[in-house]
């Protein structure tokens, strides 16, 4: 558990190789605790349960010694864990070597006091070998294995020769076994093959593992490099994107500012345009009214002078009064139109059929059409009843018909078409007259726009018609081709006004 949490800490502070080595050192220490406990338990069981006779005191002393140096190792390894990364590997290796040599010596002494070659636990010499292969190089492991074997052989040999005392496991093994060459030699041979076999297998596996670990390290380093490069690239791109965003928002700010300025100047322009239109309108009205008025003034003055001079004749007076009447009639028509335009009187809605309005408007204009040899064609479809102002619609249609007739001074054809599509009633007024230029079409519905100066056109007919149709929630549109004719289309809503 402790080593696991330690691995976590190592990972953050050390290179993976250093971390692995420190973990192994901690595992050695833990394994040593287990080994000491195992030896104590085995000694107790052997002596107390199986009553095997051997000197237990040296065994316990050895265990105590091992306990002591394991404690020292524990503190050392804790000290190592606090060290800077970089110096750890060398020191950990030295520590591991010291551990192994000490373990080997302790194991030899332990085996010496517990029967030497008769002790089946002699095979435990394989443990330091296995452990070594995990930490040391393959060569180092073989050296240590050879050392271990040499130490065991020396111990067994010295006991065999009687140069050092032999402690028999009384009640367990034959006391002369250690001097029987037929047992000792095969025993040592078996141990040697076990040790070298274990060394071969474990060092091969651990070599393979180390190789894999190196490969993993190389791969992870490559991956790290790649990821770092990718991250750098991404952060550069993000910086570039941020820059672009900043530029964009600056541009957007500029644009909004310009738009604001544009709106302001547009408002100023509209204001100026309104003033200009108003001025133009006033000038036009003044001009339009001034002409007939000056006529009235001239003829009135003439008449007064003739009466004063007693040169007055009834014929003359009638001629002058006739001229005055003409001028006043024109002025009154002009004022009437102006009133229509300015009053913008709300329509008085009645149920009506648009076809009837068309017929009544035609009645009023048919005489002019005949005079100008204009043929009238009616294509009137059955229409739903709608709510509308009869008089105002009649004013619109009369105006459209009169304009069409006037656009055909040498005769032509006036076609009036009505239809309904469910939502709207459509009235088309089509002529084969002079047509309207694109420039004039733009001004067509502007008050006082007229091309009929000679025939005393006022230029209010279409402006008034446009206002009337708008107040009916409808629309008026024109399509025209110079020299071919024009078509005015009036759309009136069915539902909105049908109640
Ligand atoms: P007015 O008839 O007094 O000139 P309107 O507002 O009715 O005033 O018409 C404005 C102008 O539109 C006319 O002077 C004429 O130039 C043009 N116009 C209107 N209807 C037609 C049409 N059917 N064909 C050609 N021009 C037309």
- Please state the three-class secondary structure of the chain as a single string: CHHHHHHHHHHHHCCHHHHHHHHHHHHHHHHHHHHHHHHHHHHHHHHHHCCCECCHHHHHHHHHHHHHHHHHHHHHHHHHHCCCCCCHHHHHHHHHHHHHHHHHHHHHHHHHHCCHHHCHHHHHHHHHHHHHHHHCCHHHHHHHHHHHHHHHHHHHHHHHHCCCCCCCCECCCCCCHHHCHHHHHHHHHHHHHHHHHHHHHHHHHHHHHHHHHHHHHHHHHHHHHHHHHHHHHHHHHHHHHHHHHHHHHHHHHHHHHHHHHHHHHHHHHHHHHHHHHHHHHHHHHHHHHHHHHHHHHHHHHHHHHHHHCCCCCHHHHHHHHHHHHHHHHHHHHHHHHHHHHHHCCCCCCEEECHHHHHHHHHHHHHHHHHHCCEEEEEEECCCCCEEECHHHHHHHHHHHHHHHHHCCCCCEEEEEEEEECCCEEEEEEEECCCCCCHHHHHHCCCCCCCCCCCCCCCCCHHHHHHHHHHHCCCEEEEEEECCCEEEEEEEEECHHHHC
Query: Does ligand 1 have an atom closer than 6 angstroms to the CB of 431?
Result: yes
What's the 389 CA to ligand 1 centre distance in angstroms?
23
Q: Where on the phi/psi map is residue 83: left (φ > 0), alpha (ψ -120 to 50), or beta? A: beta
Average pLDDT over residues 54-61: 90
- pLDDT at position 51: 87
- pLDDT at position 499: 42
What's the 384 CA to ligand 1 centre distance in angstroms?
30
What's the 407 CA to ligand 1 centre distance in angstroms?
8
Residue of minimum CA distance from atom 14 in ligand 1: 450
What's the 464 CA to ligand 1 centre distance in angstroms?
12
Average pLDDT over residues 21-39: 85
- pLDDT at position 433: 96
Q: Determine the topology of domain 345-493 in CATH.
A: Heat Shock Protein 90 (3.30.565)
41-70 exposure pattern, b = at least 16 Cβ within 10 A, e = fewer: eebeebeeeeebebebeebeebbeebeebb
Which whole-number Å values give the CA distances from 194 to 118, 142, 191, 224, 499, in the listed order? 17, 13, 5, 43, 112
User: Domain locations in the chain?
Assistant: 3-179, 345-493
CA–CA gap between residue 145 and residue 133 (Å, rounded): 10
- Going by pLDDT thresholds of 50, 70 and 90, the confidence category of residue 131 is confident
Work out the percent of the chain whose per-residue pLDDT is above 90: 28
Out of 122-126, 154-158, 304-308, least confident range: 122-126
CA–CA gap between residue 88 and residue 80 (Å, rounded): 7
- pLDDT at position 419: 96
Query: Does ligand 1 have an atom closer than 6 angstroms to the CB of 436?
Result: yes
Query: Does ligand 1 have an atom closer than 6 angstroms to the CB of 461?
Result: yes
8 A C-beta contact, residue 156 and residue 117? yes
Average pLDDT over residues 61-71: 92
- pLDDT at position 384: 95
Average pLDDT over residues 356-374: 91
What's the 19 CA to ligand 1 centre distance in angstroms?
99
- pLDDT at position 11: 47
- pLDDT at position 180: 85
Out of 63-77, 252-266, 283-297, least confident range: 283-297
Q: Return the higher-pLDDT residue of 7 and 236.
A: 236
Residue 397 CB neighbours (<10 A)? 24
Query: Does ligand 1 have an atom closer than 6 angstroms to the CB of 434?
Result: yes
Query: Does ligand 1 have an atom closer than 6 angstroms to the CB of 457?
Result: yes
Average pLDDT over residues 305-311: 85
- pLDDT at position 9: 45
Highest mean pLDDT among 86-90, 144-148, 168-172, 428-432: 428-432
Query: Does ligand 1 have an atom closer than 6 angstroms to the CB of 462?
Result: yes
Q: Return the higher-pLDDT residue of 436 and 79.
A: 436
- pLDDT at position 6: 41
- pLDDT at position 330: 75
By C-alpha distance, which of 41, 46, 43 is closest to 59? 43
Average pLDDT over residues 455-478: 86
Query: Does ligand 1 have an atom closer than 6 angstroms to the CB of 187?
Result: no
CA–CA gap between residue 414 and residue 407 (Å, rounded): 10
Average pLDDT over residues 50-61: 88
8 A C-beta contact, residue 41 and residue 112? no
8 A C-beta contact, residue 328 and residue 320? no
Residue of minimum CA distance from atom 20 in ligand 1: 403
Cα dihedral: 169, 174, 176, 177 (round 10): -90
8 A C-beta contact, residue 440 and residue 451? yes
Cα 81 versus chain centre, distance: 47
Paired tokens of 155? 């111990």
CA–CA gap between residue 108 and residue 125 (Å, rounded): 8
Residue 301, pLDDT > 90, answer no
Average pLDDT over residues 51-61: 89
Query: Does ligand 1 have an atom closer than 6 angstroms to the CB of 18?
Result: no
Residue 27, pLDDT > 70, answer yes
Residue 78, pLDDT > 60, answer yes
Average pLDDT over residues 167-189: 84
- pLDDT at position 364: 85
Which whole-number Å values give the CA distances from 49 to 58, 110, 353, in the listed order? 19, 20, 128
By C-alpha distance, which of 378, 379, 390 is closest to 354? 390
Task: For residue range 215-226, list pLDDT tens digits in order.
Answer: 888 888 899 999
CA–CA gap between residue 231 and residue 158 (Å, rounded): 68
Residue 5, pLDDT > 60, answer no
Average pLDDT over residues 240-246: 90
What's the 451 CA to ligand 1 centre distance in angstroms?
7
CA–CA gap between residue 456 and residue 443 (Å, rounded): 18
Residue 194, pLDDT > 60, answer yes
- pLDDT at position 114: 87
- pLDDT at position 485: 97
Atom index in ligand 1 nearest the CA of residue 451 equals 14
Residue 398, pLDDT > 60, answer yes
* Beta strands 412-420 and 374-380, pairing class: parallel
What's the 450 CA to ligand 1 centre distance in angstroms?
6
Return mean pLDDT, the chain: 83
- Going by pLDDT thresholds of 50, 70 and 90, the confidence category of residue 50 is confident
Question: Among 281, 336, 403, 490, which is best to mutate for testing ligand 1, by the most ligand atoms less than 8 A from CB?
Answer: 403
- pLDDT at position 354: 97
- Going by pLDDT thresholds of 50, 70 and 90, the confidence category of residue 484 is very high
Burial class of residue 372 in the structure, from the number of CB atoms within 10 Å of its CB (0-12 exposed, 13-18 middle, 19+ buried): middle
Q: Is the full-model pTM beyond 0.85?
A: no
Question: Among 462, 464, 469, 486, which is best to mutate for testing ligand 1, by the most ligand atoms less than 8 A from CB?
Answer: 462
Q: Return the higher-pLDDT residue of 235 and 7.
A: 235
Residue of minimum CA distance from atom 21 in ligand 1: 403
Residue 278, pLDDT > 60, answer no
- Going by pLDDT thresholds of 50, 70 and 90, the confidence category of residue 276 is low
Average pLDDT over residues 30-57: 88
Question: Among 441, 450, 478, which is best to mutate for testing ligand 1, by the most ligand atoms less than 8 A from CB?
Answer: 450
Query: Does ligand 1 have an atom closer than 6 angstroms to the CB of 465?
Result: no
Query: Does ligand 1 have an atom closer than 6 angstroms to the CB of 95?
Result: no
- pLDDT at position 269: 57
Q: Return the higher-pLDDT residue of 412 and 448.
A: 412
- Going by pLDDT thresholds of 50, 70 and 90, the confidence category of residue 274 is very low
Average pLDDT over residues 18-44: 85
């Amino acid at each position: 558990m402790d080593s696991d949490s330690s691995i976590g800490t190592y990972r953050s502070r050390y290179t993976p190789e250093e971390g692995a080595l420190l973990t192994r050192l901690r595992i050695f220490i833990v394994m040593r605790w287990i080994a000491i406990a195992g030896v104590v338990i085995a000694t107790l069981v052997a002596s107390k349960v199986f009553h095997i006779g051997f000197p237990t005191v040296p065994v316990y002393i050895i265990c105590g010694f091992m306990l002591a140096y394991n404690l020292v190792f524990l503190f050392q390894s804790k000290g190592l864990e606090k060290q800077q990364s970089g110096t750890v590997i060398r020191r950990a290796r030295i520590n591991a070597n010291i551990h192994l040599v000490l373990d080997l010596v302790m194991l030899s002494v332990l085996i010496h006091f517990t029967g030497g070659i008769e002790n089946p636990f002699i095979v435990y010499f394989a443990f330091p070998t296995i452990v070594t292969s995990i930490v040391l190089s393959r060569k180092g492991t073989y050296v240590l294995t050879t050392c271990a074997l040499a130490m065991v052989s020396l111990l067994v040999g010295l006991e065999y020769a009687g140069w050092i005392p032999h402690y028999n496991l009384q009640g367990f093994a034959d006391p002369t076994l250690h001097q029987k060459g037929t047992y000792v030699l095969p025993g040592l041979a078996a141990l040697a093959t076990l040790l070298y076999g274990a060394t071969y297998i474990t060092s091969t596996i651990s070599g393979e593992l180390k190789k894999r670990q190196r490969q993993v390290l190389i791969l992870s380093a490559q991956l790290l490099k790649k990821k770092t490069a990718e991250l750098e690239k991404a952060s550069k791109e993000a910086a570039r994107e941020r820059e672009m965003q900043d530029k964009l928002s600056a541009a957007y700010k500029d644009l909004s500012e310009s738009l604001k300025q544009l709106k302001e100047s547009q408002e100023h322009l509209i204001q100026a345009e309104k003033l200009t239109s108003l001025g133009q309108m006033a000038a036009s009205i003044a001009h339009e009214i001034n002409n007939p008025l000056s006529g009235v003034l001239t003829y009135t003055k003439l008449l007064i002078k003739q009466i004063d001079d007693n040169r007055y004749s009834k014929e003359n007076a009638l001629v002058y009064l006739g001229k005055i009447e003409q001028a006043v009639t024109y002025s009154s028509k002009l004022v009437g139109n102006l009133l229509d335009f300015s009053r913008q009187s709300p329509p008085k809605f009645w149920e009506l059929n648009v076809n009837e309005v068309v017929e009544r408007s035609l009645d009023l204009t048919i005489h002019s059409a005949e005079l100008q040899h204009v043929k009238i064609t009616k294509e009137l479809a059955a229409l739903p009843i709608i709510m509308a102002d009869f008089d105002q619609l009649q004013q619109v249609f009369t105006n459209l018909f009169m304009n069409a007739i006037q656009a055909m001074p040498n005769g032509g054809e006036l076609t009036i078409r009505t239809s309904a599509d469910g939502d709207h009633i459509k009235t088309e007024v089509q002529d084969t007259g002079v047509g309207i230029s694109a420039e004039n079409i733009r001004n067509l519905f502007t008050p006082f726009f007229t091309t009929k100066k000679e025939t005393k056109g006022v230029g209010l007919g279409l402006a008034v018609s446009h206002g009337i149709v708008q107040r009916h929630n409808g629309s008026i549109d024109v399509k025209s081709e110079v020299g071919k004719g024009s078509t005015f289309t009036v759309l009136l809503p069915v539902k909105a006004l049908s109640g």
